[in-house]
C-alpha cells in the first residue's frame, strides 16, 4: 500500500499556498502520494462551497490517508488545520506539524497544549524530511 499524506494548513494567501505546495513537492519527491486540499478540491469563496469543501477535503482527502502534515506557522493555527489534526488523531492517523517561524516553546500560547501533546512538531524542512524517512521506513515493517 502506498503511503498517502494529507497536507493541512492555512491557504488564504498565496504565500501560505506556496508553502503547502513546497511540502507537497518534497513528499512526492520522496515517493508519497499526497492530498493537497486547495489543489484537489479548490477554495471556498462563499457559503455555497461549504458542502463541496467538507466532502472533498474530509471524505475524499482522508480516504486511505495514513499521515497528516500540518503547517503550524503564524500567530494561530488555522481553524480547519486544528480540526483536521483532531480528526486525524481520532482516526489513529499519525501527524507531523511543521513550525518554522519560531520554536514550539515560544509558540505555546498560540499552538495549544493539545496540539503539542498529540503531534510530532519539527522546526525545519530538513527535520520534516528526516521524520518522513522514518515514517516511510516504519511503514515498510
Residues 92-101 have pLDDT tens digits of 999 999 999 9
Domain ranges of the chain: 4-140
- Bridge partners (DSSP) of residue 5 are 34, 67
Residues 119-132 have pLDDT tens digits of 999 999 999 999 99
- CA distances for 5 relative to 27, 51, 74, 107, angstroms: 8, 22, 22, 25
CATH code of domain 4-140? 3.40.50.450
Amino acid at each position: 500500500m502506498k503511503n498517502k499524506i494529507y497536507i493541512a494548513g492555512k491557504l488564504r494567501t498565496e504565500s501560505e499556498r506556496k508553502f503547502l505546495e513546497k511540502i507537497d513537492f518534497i513528499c512526492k519527491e520522496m515517493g508519497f502520494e499526497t492530498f493537497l486540499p486547495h489543489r484537489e478540491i479548490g477554495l471556498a469563496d462563499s457559503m455555497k462551497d461549504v458542502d463541496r469543501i467538507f466532502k472533498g477535503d474530509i471524505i475524499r482527502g482522508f480516504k486511505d490517508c495514513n499521515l497528516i502534515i500540518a503547517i503550524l506557522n503564524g500567530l494561530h493555527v488555522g481553524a480547519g488545520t486544528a480540526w483536521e489534526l483532531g480528526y486525524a488523531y481520532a482516526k489513529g492517523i499519525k501527524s507531523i506539524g511543521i513550525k518554522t517561524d519560531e520554536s514550539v516553546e515560544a509558540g505555546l500560547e498560540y499552538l495549544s497544549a493539545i496540539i503539542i501533546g498529540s503531534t510530532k512538531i519539527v522546526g525545519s524542512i530538513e527535520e520534516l524530511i528526516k521524520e518522513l524517512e522514518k515514517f516511510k521506513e516504519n511503514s515498510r515493517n
